[in-house]
Structure 1
Amino acid sequence: MKPLLILLSAMFVAAIGWWLGSPEQTSSAPTAAQLASPAPLPTSIINDPVTVFQNAFWKRPTPEDQILHAERREWRAGAEISQWQWFISVRPSRPLVAHLITDNAFGLTPSPEAGRKHAENLPSWFPKEAGMGGRVLTGHSGALTLIWDEASNLLHATGSGGGFHRGLPSQPQQPVVSAQPQPTSRLPTTPPPKP
């Protein structure tokens, strides 16, 4: 009787595993409708060079930084940005090169994938492949890429992210009210416990 019970249990577990592994249950592949639909268009495109520079490098450009091209794309969900992507080409000043490359302000590492396409839907002025005659640095997530051609002193950069979301609402600070009297010295304010 015991071997029959073990055999039936094993068959039951195998049947559940087969059912959970069937294609109807694991359809993570995109459908034909999803493949046919184009990527959504950005809700806004910003071409102001100074604004894009500040959003890209978290600092203001100096008069020596010559911004050749700049573009920031934003996708909004209601009033909040749900996704963003920027592209910039700059003839950087020495302080900017020191900040981005030498000091490595964003913790980038040399990319082993030079020559590989690095983004989709690039502006016409942005290089189509990373590393064409330059040094390629990427962030650990791959969302930030710098392409620096030291010989021509030309820096191309691109970055993207998932957007900004409103944080939790702040709770008003409630004053802490203690039932115990507050000591004015190092001596205790209550008598010791009775044994």
Structure 2
Amino acid sequence: MIGLGYQPSVPWVPTREEVIKTLITILQPRSGDIIYDIGCGDGRVAVALAEAFPHARIKCIELRKDLVEKARKLVRDHNLVNRVEVIEADFFQVPLRDADIVYMYLLTSVNQKLRPKLEAELKPGTVVVSLDFPIPGWNPVVTYELQRSWQRTFYIYVRGVSDQSLEPLERDKLLHEALERIRKGIASNNV
């Protein structure tokens, strides 16, 4: 069953290498973190994340069969089958409750449809990174523009903070923790 139907509304656009490198420096996952790549295309971002963060697990969700096959081949070619799971599914149907970090490169209209799912399923403190397209109704904790690559923008959110769903003291604590990690990553990217 197809949920809200992302396939026809989100064309696959491969993420450029310099954008992936910047994403890697920004993320700073903790040991054991689970990172989701929603709408992962050919798996290039998921594989790069797995290689950069051997202590994290990656879940790569893609609906298009041809791209799923490419992603699975890439994962096999890089010997990452034990750490990267490629899920052939509509991401609206895949539970995200175990996510610590979510990365997505979708359209704003799709992000808006996805927002209720993120609010219902992500635990407080989950970092959500959206490339180029904001999540309507959420306030990013950091907006990072990558000048060297076609003016790309990372919108970085923290569940419980960006959606204002927690009490102020809880939000402040999560915000402080997330910003510490994000600042380290951005500083290492020489900005």
TM-score range normalised by the length of the shorter chain: under 0.3
Structure number with bigger Rg: 1
Whichever structure has more strand as a proportion of its residues is: 1
Higher helix share goes to which structure?
2
Q: Relative CO higher for 1 or 2, CA cutoff 8 Å, sep ≥ 6?
A: 2
TM-score normalized by structure 1? 0.25
